Structure 1
């Protein structure tokens, strides 16, 4: 794992990071990691995953179910 140093971070940004970390019960370092991960690591798209899983079945029609 690498270390990153951020120089000359504005005091208002530092304060916001401290507040956000406190709200989530994290250290500032853990909060920054969570923020970076949420921005850089794409969340799986459930619709795309389902379509990909069933793609080999081809197209088909489901019968209409009548309500009673």
Structure 2
């Protein structure tokens, strides 16, 4: 595997990379590898399922549910034992 050094990277770019990597649950190095791989191969980097679903459906907004009040008081679980 090859190694690559990037000089004179703007601090704001580095911070945005750090945030993006954290959002995807990986190191900055892994994030940069994914970005570079995607740029030269045309493939989107694979994200974990939660991140992929969040990204795909975040623009749709949330859902407010009207939950009915409890008819009976809560009780402790009856576990065998």
For 1:34 and 1:19, how far apart are their aligned partners in 2? 14
1:29 and 2:29 matched: yes
User: 1:1-68 counterparts in 2 under 5 A?
Assistant: 1-43=1-43
TM-score (norm 2): 0.50
Higher normalized helix content (fraction of residues): 1
TM-score (norm: length of structure 1): 0.60
After superposition, the CA RMSD in angstroms is: 0.9
CA distance in 1, matches of 2:42, 2:17: 22
Runs (5+) with no aligned partner, structure 2: 44-81
Q: Distance in 2 between matches of 1:11 and 1:28?
A: 14
Gapped regions of structure 1 (runs ≥ 5): 44-68
Q: In the TM superposition, what is the alpha-carbon distance from 1:19 to its structure 2 partner? A: 0.3
